[in-house]
Structure 1
């Protein structure tokens, strides 16, 4: 019998400085079946990645306070943790393909919840194979 995919073995790290938007994103990721961690800036996100080896998806906003914005964080994560899939979102910043790390996904805010869940399910299927 084929083993079914268990997304609970993998985690999503949501990085968003707005507490309400962060809570909604965490709910979406959990609805997709993933363990979810959260951070309010890039510095917290790096610490979470260092602590939790099960993080396989970074879902980050572009604009946030601190030493790095979401795009700098996305590139840092791509360099240091290559297996992590990068998902970037923004409501104000226009993000082009050249701004994103390789294989990164961009979602404009307000992003469609079903689109995020579908992307997470697609990522989960790729991790499994």
Structure 2
């Protein structure tokens, strides 16, 4: 065991995750992780671009994972509120390195994940959020 994660390759099969992360290394690591678990991922550097894409895609994503502080007009917590209004029940994970008491509260059913996180913590958060919305895993 290499200490990373021992999970079935198809854990996220049939799931579409939207990822907003402006750090290219983190974006690459998380995208690859989701794909290794069988999920489909659409990655963006800004929440603005991600929102435009989601609205034009014609389908609801299974989950949105966004950094709180990303370039552009829309920040992570704002995006969570916007997509929650558009798709009630949509799960959103907002990652942040800030003190949770200094950033906006998220709507019910959404989660802050404190940085630094590792892939084990992210996997647990993804599973927790998908189970909350009754999406089969």
| TM-score, reference length from structure 2 | 0.78
Q: 1:52: how far off?
A: 5.1
For residues 9-58 of structure 1, the C-alpha deviation after alignment (integer angstroms, 9 at most, x for no partner) is 22110101111111112122223331111111111111221215151100
What is the CA–CA distance in structure 2 between the aligned matches of 1:40 and 1:71, rounded to whole Å?
Answer: 15
Q: 1:123: how far off?
A: 3.7
Structure 1 vs Structure 2 CA RMSD? 2.3
What is the CA–CA distance in structure 1 between the aligned matches of 2:11 and 2:111, rounded to whole Å?
Answer: 22
Over 3 Å counting, the alpha-carbon distance change for 1:52 and 1:10 in structure 2 is: farther
In structure 2, what is the equivalent of residue 127 of structure 1? Answer: 135
What is the CA–CA distance in structure 2 between the aligned matches of 1:52 and 1:107, rounded to whole Å?
Answer: 28
What is the CA–CA distance in structure 2 between the aligned matches of 1:52 and 1:19, rounded to whole Å?
Answer: 27
Q: Which runs of 4+ in 1 moved over 3 A?
A: 122-125
Contact 1:32-1:121 within 8 A present in 2 as well = no
| SS of corresponding position for 1:127 | coil
Unaligned runs of 5+ in 2: 1-9
Instruction: Say which structure is richer in helix.
Output: 1
Contact 1:28-1:117 within 8 A present in 2 as well = no
What is the CA–CA distance in structure 1 between the aligned matches of 2:105 and 2:36, rounded to whole Å?
Answer: 29
Aligned mate of 1:36, from 37, 41, 47: 41
1:19 equivalent in alignment to 2:19: no
Equivalent residues, number: 124
1:106 equivalent in alignment to 2:109: no
What is the CA–CA distance in structure 2 between the aligned matches of 1:52 and 1:9, rounded to whole Å?
Answer: 16
